């Protein structure tokens, strides 16, 4: 695993010592065991230590990295409060600075240069874990099944280090034989604690502590952000960086719709574009650096005012948060094609995103992309780059009606992409080994054969957890567009006092990454005002 970019200087060691306590450690002492919650930052003063991947039924124990004096131990999960992937064992006795969780948060907020150095070190180490040391969690599963695809997408989106083996691969077959597993047991996880069958995202989240609700006795939060897409993450970064106690809750993981985009090219500051997964990881790190707490996967089922003027946020797990203010940043969910037996094809040939995971399933084979907006255009270009012959099926008569010109130009210039305007999908038949896409289109000569169908036809708002005012199509109304505007209501405030809505879920929003992030950043001023106002009677 990568070392810190350089050993800490004398001055940096003195600063670190101010936030923690120096203790003597002995050779062989375990500072942290894989699976422990990683609240404490250890900084080696004179001691040395190894990071060790513990033995699993598939592999013997291995040293992943050795750390010399004047280096920090740990990686990104230290900031996230998640459990450790590796065990850390002292190899040379000496002194170690222990910096507890709250002190670490203060350090990250107040010591800018050190915070940047630590963040860079932790991020590099997570990248190293993702690339080279992921055997602490090995999964055997098939991305051709809905369960397998859901798990793989979750692990990728949450940047959980792991190795994925298809059951037909030599490693997958060996692992299944070793543990006596059948297809019904998959996906199965192999880790130091043993073998677990039928693994779900919820299992992994519970295991690593990804969805742990802050202690039940915790005080009332300043802000609960519902949704960790661009709008929610921008709000969380703004709130946490300005010292507000902030929790972000997401039903799947950070990134939102943007997290499913193969390449976002119109976001300021990234001339070569950036992938949605990259944007999600960067945003999560930034929010966590400032002390926001991220819960995922955790679905919010209700946001209701309490008698004492707070907001109660109910989670589907039965857990509950209490906050002075709530930001709804729940975006939209993909719209169904409306064809018979649609659910059965989901994840088994029919997809609502075209990331590297889905592209890997169909590479080199014909595909159909349904939709006429930017998301459909990006998917078509991305799949063509993976060797697919792509047919874009759109209801309107012209690509330019709903797509940015740069994508229209790329599609028009590509020999691998055909466009069928004025067409509607009426049915899907076949199986995951080969779908037939039936169209309602004048002059259609029969179904299109496709290895994958990518349905990107827009969405409907995610606002069922909210009882306040919405427009006829379900989008949340904010002031001044609510039926009876309240005097003194704040920007982005909904009809429910102290509940705000930003991003795609808000009626009238622009449905773009930059616009959503802008609204998320802007709502912070309203939240400050609402918190100040909270001391006054309603
Ligand atoms: C494939 C694709 C490509 C795109 N490409 C571009 C592009 O290149 N440029 C561009 O500007 N825009 C693009 N867009 C649009 C852009 O992604 C959205 O406008 C933007 O993501 C909206 O951000 P948001 O935070 O408002 O909502 P979302 O991104 O939709 O995020 C909402 C989040 O809320 C969570 N959530 C919903 N309900 C609940 C609940 N009950 N409890 C907890 N969590 C919940 C969801 O899991 C989700 O993570 C693209 C969209 C797609 C689908």
Q: Which three-class secondary structure string do you get for 210-279?
A: CCCCCCCCCCCEEEEEECCCHHHHHHHHHHHHCCCCEEEECCCCCCHHHHHCCCECCCCCCCCCECHHHH
Probe residue for ligand 1, chosen from 253, 257, 268 as the CB with the greatest number of ligand atoms within 8 Å:
257
pLDDT of residue 11: 96
Please, which pLDDT band fits residue 280 given cuts at 50, 70 and 90? confident
pLDDT, tens digit (0-9, with 9 covering 90-100), for 234-260: 999 999 989 899 999 999 888 888 887
Residues 418 and 376 in one domain: yes
For residue 43, the model assigns a pLDDT of 97
Residues near 281 by beta carbon (within 8 Å), at least 6 away in sequence: 159, 254
Judged against a pLDDT cut of 80, whether residue 132 lies above it is answered with: no
Phi/psi of residue 4, nearest 5 degrees? -60, 155
The CATH number for 116's domain is 2.60.120.10
Distance 333 CA to ligand 1 centre (A): 8
Give yes or no for residue 2 having a pLDDT over 60.
no
Give residues (CB < 6 A) around ligand 1: 226-232, 249-252, 256-258, 260-261, 264, 266, 299-300, 329-332, 353, 374-375, 378, 456, 462, 465, 503-504, 511-514, 516
Q: Whose CA is nearest to atom 17 of ligand 1?
A: 258
Same domain, 323 and 352: no
Statement: residue 381 has pLDDT above 70: yes
Asked if pLDDT for residue 168 goes beyond 80, the answer is yes
Instruction: Answer yes or no: is 472 within a domain.
Output: no
What is the number of domains present in the chain?
A: 4
pLDDT average, residue stretch 140-161: 85
pLDDT greater at residue 359 or residue 538? 359
Q: In the structure, what pLDDT confidence band is assigned to residue 421 with cuts at 50, 70 and 90? A: very high
Position 35 confidence tier, pLDDT thresholds 50, 70, 90: confident
> Cβ contacts of residue 255 below 8 Å, gap of 6+?
157, 228, 229, 276, 277, 279, 280, 283
In this structure, the answer to whether residues 104 and 150 fall within a common structural domain is: no
Q: Is the pLDDT of residue 423 over 80?
A: yes
Q: Please tell me whether residues 150 and 177 are part of one structural domain.
A: yes
Q: What is the DSSP letter of 477?
A: P
Residue 159's pLDDT band (cuts 50, 70, 90): confident
In this predicted structure, what is the pLDDT of residue 290? 81
In a domain, residue 416? The reply is yes
DSSP 404: -
CA 26 from centre of chain = 39
CA 331 – ligand 1 centroid, Å: 5
Please report the pLDDT score of residue 480 as a whole number: 93
Residue 398 is assigned to a structural domain of this protein:
yes
Q: How far is the CA of 261 from the centre of ligand 1 (A)?
A: 9
Residues near 29 by beta carbon (within 8 Å), at least 6 away in sequence: 89, 90
21-25 sheet: strands from edge to edge: 21-25, 94-99, 41-44
Note the pLDDT of residue 528. 97
Segment 337-365 mean pLDDT? 87
In the reported structure, the alpha carbon of residue 533 is separated from the centroid of ligand 1 by a whole-number distance in angstroms of 31
Both 317 and 356 in one domain: the answer is no
**Ligand 1 centre and the CA of 272: distance in Å?**
21
Confidence of residue 109 (pLDDT cuts 50, 70, 90): confident
Of all residues in the chain, the percent with pLDDT exceeding 70 is 97
Q: Do residues 311 and 347 both lie within one domain?
A: no
Q: Which atom of ligand 1 is nearest to the CA of 263?
A: 8
Per-chain mean pLDDT for the chain: 90
Residue 465 lies in a domain: no
Pick from 229, 356, 403, 519 the residue to mutate for probing ligand 1's pocket: most ligand atoms within 8 Å of its CB: 229
* Residue 256 CA, ligand 1 centroid: distance in Å: 4
**Centre of ligand 1 from the C-alpha of residue 257, in Å:** 3
Residue 357 lies in a domain: yes
Q: How far is the CA of 334 from the centre of ligand 1 (A)?
A: 10
Q: Is the pLDDT of residue 520 over 80?
A: yes
Same domain, 30 and 77: yes
Residue nearest to atom 48 of ligand 1 (CA): 256
Highest averaged pLDDT of the listed ranges 277-286, 302-311, 439-448: 302-311
Confidence tier at 405 by pLDDT (50, 70, 90): very high
Q: What is the domain extent for residue 353?
A: 342-457
This model of the complex carries an ipTM of: 0.99
Atom from ligand 1 closest to the CA of residue 505: 26
Q: At which of 207, 233, 250 does a domain end?
A: 207
Shared domain check, 279 and 329: yes
Number of the ligand 1 atom closest to the C-alpha atom of 253: 49
Give the pLDDT mean for 154-160.
78
Q: Is the pLDDT of residue 496 over 90?
A: yes
Gap between the Cα atoms of 26 and 47, Å rounded: 9
Q: Find the CATH number of the domain harbouring 375.
A: 3.50.50.60
pLDDT at 75: 85
Q: Residue 217's pLDDT band (boundaries 50, 70, 90)?
A: low
CA 76–ligand 1 middle distance (angstroms): 24
Determine the average pLDDT of the residues in 200-224.
79
Asked if the structure places residue 180 within a domain, the reply is yes
Whether the predicted pLDDT of 348 surpasses 90 = no
- 349-359 pLDDT, tens digit per residue, is 998 888 887 89
Among protein residues, the one with the nearest Cα to ligand 1's atom 8 is 264
* Residue 492 falls inside a structural domain: no
- For residue 163, give the H/E element and its range: strand 163-165
Average pLDDT on 209-223 reads 73
Q: What is the spatial distance between Cα 255 and Cα 281, in angstroms, rounded to a whole number?
A: 8
CB atoms within 10 A of CB 400: 13
Residue 200 pLDDT more than 90?
yes
Closest residue by Cα to atom 41, ligand 1, is 300
Three-state DSSP class for residue 419: strand
Last residue of a domain, which of 393, 425, 457? 457
Among 132, 160, 188, where does a domain finish?
Answer: 132
Question: CATH number, domain at 148?
Answer: 3.40.30
Minimum CA distance residue for ligand 1 atom 27: 331
Is 297 in the same domain as 382?
Answer: no
My answer on whether 14 and 128 are in the same domain is yes
Residue 530 pLDDT level (bands cut at 50, 70, 90): very high
Amino acid 77: pLDDT: 80
pLDDT score of 286: 83
Q: Is the pLDDT of residue 4 over 80?
A: no
Provide mean pLDDT across the span 424-442.
91
Same domain, 188 and 104: no
* Partners of 429 in the β-ladder: 436
pLDDT of residue 1: 54
pLDDT for the residue numbered 218: 58
pLDDT at 257: 84
Region 22-31 average pLDDT? 97
**Residue with more model confidence, 262 or 216:** 262
Q: What is the pLDDT of residue 386?
A: 96
Q: Does residue 471 fall inside a structural domain?
A: no
Say how many Å lie between the first and final Cα of the chain, rounded.
55
> Is 320 found in the same domain as 285?
yes
151 C-alpha to center of ligand 1: Å?
19
Q: Which of 296, 334, 352, 513 to mutate to test the pocket of ligand 1 (most atoms within 8 A of CB)?
A: 513
Q: Which atom of ligand 1 is nearest to the CA of 353?
A: 1
| The pairing of beta strand 424-431 with beta strand 434-440 | antiparallel
Task: Average the pLDDT over 148-171 and give the result.
Answer: 87
pLDDT classification of 149: cutoffs 50, 70, 90: confident
Reply yes or no on whether the pLDDT at 228 is more than 90: yes
């Amino acid at each position: 695993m990568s070392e810190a970019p350089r050993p800490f200087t004398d001055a940096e060691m003195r600063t670190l010592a101010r936030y923690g306590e120096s203790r003597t450690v002995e050779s062989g002492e375990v500072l942290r065991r894989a699976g422990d919650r990683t609240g404490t930052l250890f900084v080696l003063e004179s001691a040395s230590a190894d990071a060790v991947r513990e033995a699993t039924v598939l592999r013997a124990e291995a040293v992943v990295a050795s750390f010399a004096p004047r280096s920090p131990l740990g990686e990104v999960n230290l900031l996230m409060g998640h459990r450790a992937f590796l065990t850390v064992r002292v190899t040379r006795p000496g002194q170690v600075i222990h910096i507890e969780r709250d002190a670490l948060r203060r350090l990250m907020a107040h010591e800018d240069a050190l915070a940047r150095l630590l963040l860079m070190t932790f991020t590099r180490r997570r990248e190293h874990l993702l690339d080279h040391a992921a055997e602490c969690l090995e999964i055997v599963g098939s991305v051709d099944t809905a369960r397998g695809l859901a798990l793989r997408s979750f692990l990728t989106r949450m940047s959980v280090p792991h190795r994925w083996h298809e059951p037909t691969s030599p490693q997958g077959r060996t692992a299944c034989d070793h543990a006596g597993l059948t297809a019904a047991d998959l996906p199965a996880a192999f880790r130091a604690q043993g073998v677990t069958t039928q693994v779900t995202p919820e299992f992994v989240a519970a295991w690593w502590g990804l969805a742990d609700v802050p202690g039940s006795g915790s005080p009332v939060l300043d802000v609960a952000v519902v949704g960790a897409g661009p709008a929610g993450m921008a709000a969380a970064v703004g709130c946490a960086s300005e010292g507000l106690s902030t929790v972000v809750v997401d039903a799947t993981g950070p990134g939102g719709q943007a997290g499913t985009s193969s390449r976002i090219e119109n976001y300021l500051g990234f001339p070569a574009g950036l992938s949605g997964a990259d944007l999600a990881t960067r945003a999560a790190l930034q929010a966590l650096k400032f002390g926001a707490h991220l819960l995922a996967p955790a679905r919010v089922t209700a946001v209701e005012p309490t008698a004492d003027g707070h907001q109660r946020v109910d989670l589907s797990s039965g857990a509950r948060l209490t906050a002075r203010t709530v930001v709804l940043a729940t975006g939209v969910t993909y719209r169904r094609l409306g064809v018979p037996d649609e659910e059965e094809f989901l994840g088994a040939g029919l997809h609502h995103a075209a990331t590297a995971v889905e592209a890997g399933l169909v590479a080199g084979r014909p595909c159909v992309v349904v939709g006429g907006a930017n998301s459909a255009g990006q998917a078509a270009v991305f799949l063509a780059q993976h060797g697919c012959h792509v047919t874009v099926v759109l209801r309107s008569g012209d690509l330019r009606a709903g797509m940015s010109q740069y994508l229209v130009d790329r599609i028009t210039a590509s020999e691998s992409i055909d466009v069928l305007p004025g067409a509607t999908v009426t049915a899907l038949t076949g199986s995951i080994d080969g779908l037939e896409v039936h169209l309602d289109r004048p002059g259609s000569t029969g179904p299109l054969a496709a290895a994958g169908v990518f349905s990107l036809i827009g969405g409907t708002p995610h606002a069922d957890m909210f009882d306040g005012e919405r427009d006829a199509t379900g989008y949340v109304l904010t002031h001044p567009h609510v039926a009876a505007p309240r005097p003194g209501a704040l920007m982005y405030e909904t009809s429910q006092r102290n509940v705000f809505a930003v991003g795609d879920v808000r009626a009238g929003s622009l449905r773009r990454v930059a616009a959503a992030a802008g609204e998320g950043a802007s709502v912070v001023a309203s939240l400050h005002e609402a918190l100040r106002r909270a001391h006054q009677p309603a």
